[in-house]
Amino acid sequence: MRGETLFNDGSSSFDDFLINAYEFLKADYPKFYKMDNLSKLGFLAAEALVHDRNLKQYSPETVAVVLSNSAASLDTDLRFLQSTKNVASPALFVYTLPNIVVGEICIRHKITGENTFFVTPSFDPEFLCFYAKSLFERNHVQACIAGWVDVLDEHHDVFLYLIEKESGSEGMEHNSDALKKLYAR
């Protein structure tokens, strides 16, 4: 968070890491346990990102969420396919769309503004900047959670950031070079 480690865990499995991070953040959101790993990772990153921010200062329709990844919901799709060998799991089926992570974040934070999910070959800061800037220019958006949430098997990668129209002196310029530097950390 802002260049510093917020949570460090020596869990041997990604599933354990997600549970330990959830407990560390004290998120208190029972639906978390039903989520797929993509949604859990995005949810936790959003919790950490906005924990000291007041998104409630904005009307819900003026907050947007724009996320992307390279694997879509393939991790959950494969788990669902495996479950069909016995009895298909409806609990997994509901997560077989990559944009569900966006929905979980929006529900948790009562965000009703534009939300979207893109699948790109790799983290694409130029595209994220372009799209987020267009939201501010066209849709009267005051804040936007944007970034990358990717999960496939044991591979996981997350990078979320918050853009605010009026960020004050603590904000940094929203451009692809700044995002590349932050993502590389």
Contacts of 112 (CB under 8 A, 6+ apart): 60, 61, 63, 106
Question: Is 134 in a helix, a strand, or coil?
Answer: helix
Between CA 143 and CA 110 the distance in angstroms is 13
- Whether 74 is covered by a domain: the verdict is yes
The pLDDT, as a whole number, for residue 85 is: 83
- Whether 8 is covered by a domain: the verdict is no
- Whether 42 is covered by a domain: the verdict is yes
The pLDDT, as a whole number, for residue 2 is: 61
72: left (phi over 0), alpha (psi -120 to 50) or beta: left
Q: Domain holding 122: CATH number?
A: 3.40.47.10
Q: Which residue in 67, 42, 65, 167 sits closest to 113, CA to CA?
A: 65
Neighbours of 143 (CB within 10 A): 23
- Whether 1 is covered by a domain: the verdict is no
The pLDDT, as a whole number, for residue 169 is: 47
Range of the domain at 172: 14-184
What b/e sequence results for 103-115 when a residue is b if at least 16 CB atoms lie within 10 Å of its CB, and e otherwise? ebbbebbebebbb
- Whether 100 is covered by a domain: the verdict is yes
| Structural domain count, the chain | 1
**pLDDT lower than 50: segments of the chain:** 169
- Whether 113 is covered by a domain: the verdict is yes
